Amino acid sequence: MTAGDLNLTLHGYFRSSASFRVRIALNLKGLTYQSLAHHLRRDEQRAPGYLALNPQGLVPTLIANGQAIGQSLAIIEFLEETVPAPALLPPDPLGRARVRALAQAVASDIHPLNNLREPLRQPEDAVRHWYQHWVAEGFAGVEQLLAGGAAGRFCHGDLPTLADVCLIPQVANAQNFECDLTAYPTIMRIFTSAMALEAFERASPKHQPDAE
């Protein structure tokens, strides 16, 4: 299958870091797609029509040639297998394992503690304190993994990978929550390199049709 064989619709939300990940991957792959927004703070993701596509009531959901795919990492793996160039995973098994581990450190360990489920429906000060605490806990480990590993311009060498696709939206969210990121120079260097690329910048929340 080639990029031209795919008819893609992305259901997401401009502030969703998981949706941000998928937008980056789609842009890096040079894929065109229709974007449909579901405002999470208005619970639009719980509307019956959307739940028919994604019974979890989460974003993103990618509709690929009429088939629904949920969970951002599964969507990106589908894109990687369907449109393999440019690759988001290294060619060697150890490299792929490292990239996947970095991606999961963000997607599985940091992000679930900072999404729109509890405690993010608490007072604003409590939300900010919670978010800042868990970003600090997570980024401390990621910084060491990057600084002591195979990072180049990006998380793994000099080309963006799945690890960058996951890390950059988390950094952007951390900035929105006024986290002190000065303790993570490697993360911030990679963030700067990534956001200089059109694929990352165009995927950012401020450029989405539903941006507020």
Domain boundaries, the chain: 3-86, 93-199
Contacts of 132 (CB under 8 A, 6+ apart): 177, 178, 179, 180
Options 3.30.413.10, 3.40.30.10, 3.40.47.10, 3.40.50.1980; CATH of 3-86: 3.40.30.10
Residues 114, 175 contacting (CB under 8 angstroms): no
| Ranges of H-type helices in 29-161 | 48-53, 72-82, 93-104, 124-147
- Longest CA span, the chain: 49
CATH 3.40.50.2000 matches 93-199:
no
Residues of the chain with pLDDT below 50 are 118-119
Specify the 3-state DSSP secondary structure of 11.
strand
Domains 3-86 and 93-199 share a fold: no
Residues 110, 163 contacting (CB under 8 angstroms): no
Residue in the structure block whose two tokens are 């797609």 = 33
pLDDT of residue 121: 59
